[in-house]
Amino acid sequence: MDEASAPDAPLLSLRGLEKSFPGVRALRAVDFEVRAGEIMALVGENGAGKSTLMKILNGVDRPDAGSLRWRGREGFPASPAEAQAAGISMIHQELALVPDLDVGRNLFLGREPRWGPGLVDRRRLYREAQEELDQLGLAVDARATVRDYPLAQQQMIEVAKALSLRARLLVMDEPTSSLTGREVEVLFERMRSLRSRGIALVFISHRMEEIFAIADRITIMRDGAVVSVDPAANLDADEVIRRMVGREVGDPGEGGGWPAVAADAEPLLEVEGLGRGRAFRDISFRLQPGEILGVSGLVGAGRTELAEALFGVRPAEVGRLRVQGREQRIRHPGDALRAGIALVPEDRKGQGLFLGMSVGANTVMAVLSRFLAAGLFLRHGRLRRVAEQFVERLRVRTPSVRQEVRNLSGGNQQKVVIAKWLALEPKVLILDEPTRGIDVGAKAEIYRLMRSLAAEGMGILMISSELPEILGVSTRILVLHEGRLAGSFLPAETDSDELMRAATGTRAVAAGEGAAG
Amino acid sequence: MNASAHTAPRETRGRLLERFGLLLCLLLLVLVLSLVTDRFLTVDNLTNVVRQSSINAIIAVGVMLVILTRGIDLSVGSVLAFSSVFGTTWLTQGGVPVPVAILLSVGAGVVLGLTSGALVAYLRIPPFIATLGMMTFARGAALAYTQGQPVSGLAGGYRWAGAGELLGVPVPIVLLALVYLLGYLLLEHTGPGRSIRAIGDNPEAARWSGLPVRRVQLLVYGISGGLAALAGVILAGRLNSAQPTAGVFYELDAIAAVVVGGTSFAGGKGSLSGTLIGALLIASINNGMNLLNFPADLQAIAKGAVIILALLLYRQLRRTRPGRAVRAPTPNENPEPHPS
């Protein structure tokens, strides 16, 4: 290791980066460095400049000013290929593997070992791929198809691919966003072992507990500038959040002042014995006006499937469902919407948004039929006023309702999806992972919004993988385990350990008032 | 130029090019044809170009609506043939009045279109396959229905639709204007029109938003069939006969007009004005080559090449638009509600 001679000299050092886009100063005087064998966390709200910084590092964008020094050499990479050849690899939120090819082919895609007249040397390919995988300690077969491995393994396959490219710096952009708790632990184990091999890691995440579990140092960005660089040991989560947003933010835990739930009020939603195939069974619960019912559980426990059944995307096969006492059969989203049930889906871009259409058009999409003259013609003026009203109420940051949704940040896109459903004035609002991939400031706003909707008498069902969120926002908590209800809890009387035990099935069915009725 | 907004002129130019680049291509072609022939730029000839383009332009509206939903309709040429021999047979042998015959013809087109639509929407057959099947089916039906013979000797009223005039304007041009006007109303000012774009932009989100995805699919294929049949009425009227072999390759001309007109196969994006200009462009090319006495086989080659060139040129013009940067609001921005 040539860097070993000067252990404190950074492997990568960026100085004085400036970058402007029309109307936006994305980076101002940014310095950023990573040492070999270090895990550097990069945090900041969406729009703070993290992505721009990483795009420059990866050769996608060029800065307007500044310098880059990488392993002693000056100059910016001109393309991702050049960055990769120099030993800088990115692992994105969306994986870049070909799911139907086998693992070995994926590792060596486009640079397969050859023999004779340019044929692929399959034996060498699989042997070298297997070596690479074994070195990471992965239980992955180089000849198996990528699709057959869970997401966490696929992520590690991408790491193996980067390492086979002789990467010395790995940038991991929200690598844990679709992993379960145990998978995150495994990922962190591997990251630590990479660190001990002298590889530098940049870890981008919104999850404070993960950052403090893994990072050596933390670079905090805000509004295109670096606010601070400190060893993780000198910081705590509150301090990081304060620096990120530049103000105090109510974290979900600060609760207090709950709308009193009248136990005798007529329930908004009653579910009895709901089930579909092996996805979930025997699900029964009630949702009262003003309640925020948190639904917790591991990935694959049937939470999203339950939400999809309540909303009619993939209808339930057995069981009964009543909305405000009236029996409803929900076979497609139209039925659910008429019954007053709306669902903010987990996959914002895939299921929630029309990216090529305007903020206004998105906001009113679910209520179009209410604003037609003669049942046919759009009332443009009224549609526009409705859209503007919700854009203002949800504080969607957009120059106008005519802006295309694809130009908004993740948090604002999420607000547009929520606005689309609020325009419908639903009685029951289901939110599936409402704050995934959203920055801290927007998160706090979404929590506030959920509370004020509940206070107005709406019933909210919130599915979340983040226990602090479940504990901090819910008025009552349901835990699913392998498609069944594993317990019902009150946030004041439980903690994350107990919820995790219920979710992993290490505890028998909990005694809880809501579980049976 | 105002220095405080130095990015604005560039953006305006990009947007102008995006909006009018295609029109520019058309004007360029008109200019060239006016210079190399002395007969192109005459009122008679230009009227003729528009009249000739009307059949393709009307079909293209239906095809465009289908493409906006991420579908494709390959059956329009065959649907045109069947519906036109169907309607004219009722006219000549069934003795029904002309308006009834025309309604029967258009009705037949709508039914065939709805059939394709049902295959796509309810049986989930990919649009390419469903309409390829309909293309073969309708052509066969047209030949079987007439035993391969053209239906001729149409009543005067029927011929009027293809060759007559209304207040001095050829009827096909009147129909063309009417179809585009109704198409514009549908697409920009109605609920179903908004749904068409939404389904094309993101079919999954459309379903999750409770939009009537299947009914809208049915609608666009039905309209496509109906407009193909209307074009068939014009064609039969002009030729004074309906041919079971009419309309071969019309689907390709229509798709060319739609795509040259800037509609994306990825769905959601496209404008009727683009499609109209696309159809006019293709008609101008045909007309120009006729005036220049190109042999027929060379005409086909040249047309293919020009269509591809027009598409490349148009894309190049659009590419000068600066990125997808967030557009800052400008104070003089038109506050009118903007559809989609």
Please, are residues A397 and B320 in contact by the beta-carbon 8 Å criterion? no
Mutate to test the interface with A, among B122, B209, B216 (most CBs of A within 10 A): B209
Q: Which CATH number fits domain B42-317: 1.10.357, 3.30.720, 3.30.1370, 1.10.3470?
A: 1.10.3470
Task: Tell me the percentage of chain A whose pLDDT exceeds 70.
Answer: 91
> What average pLDDT does the segment A485-508 reach?
78
pLDDT of residue A244 exceeding 60 = yes
SS3 B223: helix
pLDDT tens across A283-315, in order?
999 999 999 999 988 777 888 899 999 999 899
pTM as predicted: 0.72
Residues 315-344 of A with CB under 8 A from B: 332-334, 336-337, 343
pLDDT tens across A118-131, in order?
888 899 999 999 99
CA distances from A76 to A36, A62, A248 (A): 19, 8, 37
Residue keyed to tokens 């640079």: A111
A55 touches chain B (CB under 8 A): no
What pLDDT, on a 0 to 100 scale, did the predictor assign at position B17?
A: 63
A313 touches chain B (CB under 8 A): yes
What pLDDT, on a 0 to 100 scale, did the predictor assign at position A322?
A: 92
What pLDDT, on a 0 to 100 scale, did the predictor assign at position A249?
A: 44
If pLDDT is split at 50, 70 and 90, which confidence band does A206 have? confident
Nearest to B325 among A22, A345, A360 (CB): A22
- Comparison of pLDDT for B125 and A81, the residue scoring more: B125
pLDDT tens across B129-184, in order?
999 999 999 999 999 999 999 999 888 889 998 888 899 899 999 999 999 999 99
What pLDDT, on a 0 to 100 scale, did the predictor assign at position A436?
A: 80
- Cα–Cα distance for residue pair B220/B226, rounded to 1 Å: 10
- Comparison of pLDDT for A503 and A189, the residue scoring more: A189
A23 touches chain B (CB under 8 A): yes
Determine the residue type at A85: A
If pLDDT is split at 50, 70 and 90, which confidence band does A510 have? very low
What pLDDT, on a 0 to 100 scale, did the predictor assign at position B15?
A: 59
What pLDDT, on a 0 to 100 scale, did the predictor assign at position A236?
A: 87
Encoded tokens for A144: 């198996």
Q: Which of A461, A443, A429 is nearest to A296 (CA)?
A: A461
SS3 B170: strand
pLDDT of residue A508 exceeding 50 = no
CA angle A405, A208, A170 (to 5 degrees): 75
> What average pLDDT does the segment A29-50 reach?
88
> What average pLDDT does the segment A263-275 reach?
84
B188 CB burial (10 A radius; 0-12, 13-18, 19+):
middle
Residues 6+ apart with CB under 8 A from A461: A269, A287, A293, A295, A307, A310, A428, A429, A430, A431
**Residues linked to residue A272 through DSSP beta bridges, in sequence order:** A320
What pLDDT, on a 0 to 100 scale, did the predictor assign at position B304?
A: 84
Q: How far apart are the first and last CA of chain A?
A: 64
What pLDDT, on a 0 to 100 scale, did the predictor assign at position A8?
A: 62
Please provide the DSSP assignment of A187-217 as one string: HHHHHHHHHHTT-EEEEE-S-HHHHHHH-SE
> What average pLDDT does the segment A97-107 reach?
90
Phi, psi at residue A31, to the nearest 5°? Answer: -110, 140
Question: Cβ separation of A355 and B202 shorter than 8 Å?
Answer: yes
Residues 6+ apart with CB under 8 A from A434: A344, A414, A418, A446, A450, A462, A464
- Assembly ipTM: 0.80
Question: Cβ separation of A376 and B11 shorter than 8 Å?
Answer: no
- Mean pLDDT rounded to a whole number for chain A: 85
What pLDDT, on a 0 to 100 scale, did the predictor assign at position B217?
A: 96
Question: Domains plus CATH for chain A?
Answer: 2-249 (3.40.50.300), 269-340+426-517 (3.40.50.300), 355-420 (no CATH)
What pLDDT, on a 0 to 100 scale, did the predictor assign at position A135?
A: 83
What pLDDT, on a 0 to 100 scale, did the predictor assign at position B327?
A: 36
What pLDDT, on a 0 to 100 scale, did the predictor assign at position A294?
A: 94
Question: Cβ separation of A380 and B325 shorter than 8 Å?
Answer: no
Residue keyed to tokens 């598409």: B311
- Cα–Cα distance for residue pair A488/A121, rounded to 1 Å: 56
| Least Cα separation, residue B64 to chain A (angstroms) | 18
Domain ranges, ordered by start, for chain B: 42-317
Partners of residue A403 in chain B, C-beta under 8 Å:
326-327
Neighbours of A425 (CB within 10 A): 11
Strand intervals (E) in A205-279: 217-222, 225-231, 269-276
> Among A148-162, A346-360, A478-492, B47-61, where is mean pLDDT lowest?
A148-162
pLDDT of residue A107 exceeding 60 = yes
Phi, psi at residue A477, to the nearest 5°? Answer: -130, 130
If pLDDT is split at 50, 70 and 90, which confidence band does A257 have? very low
What pLDDT, on a 0 to 100 scale, did the predictor assign at position B317?
A: 63
Low-confidence spans in chain B with pLDDT less than 70: 1-19, 314-315, 317-340
CA distances from A54 to A242, A433, B76 (A): 23, 26, 50
> Among A178-192, A246-260, B246-260, where is mean pLDDT lowest?
A246-260
pLDDT of residue A22 exceeding 70 = no
Strand intervals (E) in A49-125: 65-70, 73-74, 88-91, 114-115, 119-120
A455 touches chain B (CB under 8 A): no
pLDDT of residue A204 exceeding 80 = yes
If pLDDT is split at 50, 70 and 90, which confidence band does A232 have? very high
Question: Cβ separation of A403 and B189 shorter than 8 Å?
Answer: no
What pLDDT, on a 0 to 100 scale, did the predictor assign at position B257?
A: 92
B9 touches chain A (CB under 8 A): no
pLDDT of residue A58 exceeding 70 = yes
What pLDDT, on a 0 to 100 scale, did the predictor assign at position A155?
A: 83
Closest residue in chain A to residue B210, using alpha carbons only: A334
